[in-house]
Amino acid sequence: MRHLGLLIIIIGISCGTLSYAEDEDQQEKANQKGLVYVESDYMTTAGSGDFRLIPYAERRREWGVTFSVEYSTYEPLNYLPNFLEADFADVYSSVDTPMLEMQFTVKRNFSFASLGGEIAVGFYENESDSDLVNSTLTLYPIRLGAVLAFDALAPDPLFVPYVSGGGYVMIFREATPESSLNGNTAIAPYVHGGIALQLDWIDRQAARIAYNDSGIQNSYLFAEARMQMASTDEKDEDFSSDVSFAGGIRVEF
């Protein structure tokens, strides 16, 4: 029995050495041919033999991008209507099309977080109370800023807290059937903070297929608080807001 145990140990060591040598040989052959030896983004699950993605923190590249679609409760409560001397809330008492935004981010990934630049474009429309005045306010905010996301605090993080800030301009149009007023503001600051919930754990197989077919690293639902400040140009209309809330879906590539 002692000799048998020794033989098993020797065989195990030999197999491990051969496996390592084979991997090294593949890497050396690839280098000789001017090719790059790439490690797989998948691992085999013991027992079932299924292929699963290796943890996000290990497989993600140096650079990444995200695309988001979101809804916001933002309303320009400090805006003064041009066709009636009254407060915004009195003239535009109910929202027809709430603030909807699309956002694109390019980010540099680090060991525990990522730092990126974001650009977003939105749309908002509100029709006045016809008993007071027949007017429509349309807004197109454009944002450009930076975002810091703590997206690698765990191998596969379930929650991702983040903060962002930068500047925005507001392109606006307020119109009645007889006349209209168009314009845009100077750059004004904004700040956002929120948390994203990763969705891949719901269906690991679908997440693996999405990564394999489309390069989707992660998908998230997110919620955030946001604040917009007024432009420093005294001639500008005031599109600042108190704290508003937003939520949406985000896809990372």
Helix or strand (DSSP H, E) at 227: strand 218-228
Q: Are strands 136-149 and 51-53 parallel, antiparallel or unpaired?
A: unpaired
CA distance 1 to 7: 10
pTM, two decimal places: 0.77
Per-residue pLDDT of the chain (253 residues; tens, 9 = 90+): 444 444 444 334 444 443 344 444 444 544 555 544 344 454 444 343 456 788 998 899 999 999 999 999 999 999 999 988 899 999 998 888 999 999 999 999 999 999 999 999 999 999 998 778 899 999 999 999 999 999 999 999 999 999 999 999 999 999 998 999 999 999 999 999 999 999 998 988 888 888 889 899 999 999 999 999 999 998 999 999 999 999 999 999 9
Whether the Cβ atoms of residue 125 and residue 138 lie closer than 8 Å to each other: yes
Count of helix runs (H) and strand runs (E) in the chain: 4, 11
Where exactly are the structural domains of the chain? 2-38, 57-252
Q: Tell me the two tokens of residue 208.
A: 């693996």
114's CB contacts (< 8 A; 6+ apart) are 64, 107, 108, 148, 149, 151, 152
Class in CATH terms, 57-252: mainly beta
Query: How far apart, in whole angstroms, are the C-alpha atoms of residue 36 and residue 30?
Result: 6
Structure tokens at 122: 């939105």
Instruction: Output the CA angle 177-178-182, nearest 5 degrees.
Output: 90
Q: How many Å apart are CA 73 and CA 116, to the nearest integer?
A: 25
